[in-house]
Amino acid sequence: MNKARSGSLLIIGGSEDRTGSRDILQRLVALAGGSERKFVVLTAASGRPEQVFGQYASAFRAMGVHDLTHVRTSTPEQAQDADLARLVRAADGILMTGGDQQRLCELLGGSAIERAMHDAFESGRACVAGTSAGASALSAQMVIGPASMDEGSAAGLGKGLGFVSGVIIDQHFSQRNRLGRLLGLLGQHPSLMGAGIDENTALIVQPGVGIEVIGQGTVSVVDCRRAVSNVSDIAPGAPAELLGIQLHVLPAGSAFQMEVHEPGSSMLSRQARPAPRQVQDFVSTMMQRSRAA
Amino acid sequence: MNKARSGSLLIIGGSEDRTGSRDILQRLVALAGGSERKFVVLTAASGRPEQVFGQYASAFRAMGVHDLTHVRTSTPEQAQDADLARLVRAADGILMTGGDQQRLCELLGGSAIERAMHDAFESGRACVAGTSAGASALSAQMVIGPASMDEGSAAGLGKGLGFVSGVIIDQHFSQRNRLGRLLGLLGQHPSLMGAGIDENTALIVQPGVGIEVIGQGTVSVVDCRRAVSNVSDIAPGAPAELLGIQLHVLPAGSAFQMEVHEPGSSMLSRQARPAPRQVQDFVSTMMQRSRAA
């Protein structure tokens, strides 16, 4: 893998601290190269874009960021706007806010803005971040449907933006008790892995290097690839029997790299260690990009 | 194993239906031999014993049970009462209600009532059931401490009544989002297994035969015995890294037996099948009794 080929991803489980120590947003600034760089906030997921942008504008200002633009794309036409796309392509830090991930992907999927995000990421410069709905949309396989655990089996997969592939990213994971929903999806799509990210917690992915967890909660990695399930024998919506699920719980400080790196090439914590056998497949999956087809 | 040696266990995750179809309580009546048999309800866990007994009295009456006694043990002296112990020893169905499992075990641990329960169980006649706190108390290793997931690492283990051993039984499992708490305990006690039982859901154990799940939700079996954890290297209370947890999700209808049985010897569903490799250790653990030492 060529480390110079891609930027980094910051996948945030929602409700990140915006007014206190802002640890996760501070890391976004650092991954983008510092507070002097160019930042854009995409509010396509939100039904209240000005209000949401206002919160981030205050937070970024407090962190010393001056070059911050609101990329407001409330219509498909705006998502094709060449001037906005130029801004996104030139950005060092790109943050997709929360809201409704279906709305986000309907507006941005296949748009000039989406192409600009991929260009910025693939240039090796930009950190692309998403929180809550914006986190789920980062993968090619995106969870959609009811948020409640009791309706887990009715959740489905939609097409996300494809900064990663082979993984379903869920957010507000412990707080909204979403393991059941994620297991329902993985039972139906056992080739995928699941990453459930808690609130005020984030997974950093540096392609070619590794992954790291930061923040308050944990990232739950769910792997049903070797599980035995009766999902094809039961009525739709009935809870499935799932035997042999692998679960890994990663708190802040879990940092895994895939190989030894030259000094300075890694943006991960100094504590990053070679990925243990149990999580090597997950780390590899997260580091393997695929543009949404 | 000698199938004739023990009765059955009905381990209920709390909030079982008491006024509608009463599926779980109906199964208790069936496991005890039918509505003509003798039933006792133990309210030691509860701070409102008369009120709780009243609810069960209505439910059992509606199921055609006439021989029902309230074994009220609000003091250590009552827990030594020889007449009450005789009633318990003669019972075919014994139900421990919810409340506070520490209170329950402080009152009953080592008492005449507890010995009577074990005698009834070991006679091969009685079904011993527990719901909520009463369910956790059935194991020799009992979860105690804060109910909140955010305080998971502060939960601890106490001494339960030992109808099973080697397993931590948790209840209201999905509804109260208790996976984090259970993982915190299993990280510290990796030789134990965890069984997280949802509300209105129960795990039936027939020693010498097998196990079965009934009800609305699922039983989550958590096995950290081969997991790799940093629990001994981190500050108490900090979330641990846990790699390679095995998780099995068993919905109603999951019924596993350990060997082929003569017709009539099994009280499990007809659909019971040989326990798959993944859950054999769990089934064996559940079937292996140990009196609290």
ipTM, two decimals, is 0.92
Neighbouring residues of A83: CB distance < 8 A, sequence distance ≥ 6: none
Q: Mean pLDDT in each 10-residue stretch from start to end of chain B (293 residues)?
A: 67 98 97 97 96 98 98 95 97 97 95 97 95 97 70 75 96 93 92 97 94 97 95 83 97 89 78 93 85 41
Report yes or no: A251 at the B interface, CB cutoff 8 Å.
Answer: yes
From residue A28, give the alpha-carbon distance in Å to each of A20, A22, A197, B221. 15, 10, 17, 38
Domain extents in chain B: 3-149+159-164+199-217+252-287
CATH number of A3-287: 3.40.50.880
Report yes or no: B239 at the A interface, CB cutoff 8 Å.
Answer: yes
What is the model's pLDDT at position B34? 96
Strand partners, B10: B129, B204
Report yes or no: A237 at the B interface, CB cutoff 8 Å.
Answer: no
- Between CA A277 and CA B76 the distance in angstroms is 52
CB contact under 8 Å between A252 and B244, yes or no, is no
A contacts of B218 (beta carbons < 8 Å): 180, 239
Known catalytic residue: B241? no
Q: Which two tokens stand for residue B178?
A: 């208790």
Q: Strand runs (DSSP E) across chain A, as ranges?
A: 8-12, 38-42, 67-71, 93-96, 127-131, 139-144, 156-159, 164-171, 193-197, 201-206, 210-215, 218-223, 228-229, 242-251, 255-257, 273-274
Alpha helices in B138-260 (DSSP H): 179-188
pTM of the model: 0.93
CA distance A214 to chain B (A): 12
**What is the chain B residue with the closest CA to A179?**
B174
**What pLDDT tens digit does each residue of chain A (293 aa) get?**
344 457 999 999 999 999 999 999 999 999 999 999 999 999 999 999 999 999 999 999 999 999 999 999 999 999 999 999 999 999 999 999 999 999 999 999 999 999 999 999 999 889 999 999 999 999 999 998 765 444 444 688 999 999 999 999 999 999 998 999 999 999 999 999 999 999 999 999 999 899 999 999 999 999 999 999 998 888 877 889 999 999 999 999 999 998 766 667 788 988 899 999 999 999 999 988 654 43
Contact B68, B39 (CB under 8 A): yes
Interface test with A, best of B151, B183, B249 (most A CBs within 10 A): B249
**What is the chain B residue with the closest CA to A245?**
B247
Known catalytic residue: B259? no
- Between CA A166 and CA A24 the distance in angstroms is 25
Q: Which two tokens stand for residue A48?
A: 């209240």
Report yes or no: B154 at the A interface, CB cutoff 8 Å.
Answer: no
Contact A200, A217 (CB under 8 A): yes
Report yes or no: B238 at the A interface, CB cutoff 8 Å.
Answer: yes
pLDDT, tens digit (0-9, with 9 covering 90-100), for B74-109: 999 999 999 999 999 999 999 999 999 999 999 999
| CB within 8 Å of chain B, chain A residues 177-216 | 177, 179-180, 183
| Closest by CA position to B95, among listed B142, B45, B145 | B45
Known catalytic residue: B132? yes
What is the model's pLDDT at position B137? 97
CA distance B157 to chain A (A): 21
- CATH homologous superfamily of domain B3-149+159-164+199-217+252-287? Class I glutamine amidotransferase (GATase) domain (3.40.50.880)
- Between CA B128 and CA B289 the distance in angstroms is 13
Contact B35, B29 (CB under 8 A): yes
CB contact under 8 Å between A177 and B177, yes or no, is yes
CA distance A58 to chain B (A): 29
Query: Angle formed by the axes of helices B49-62 and B23-31, to 10°?
Result: 80
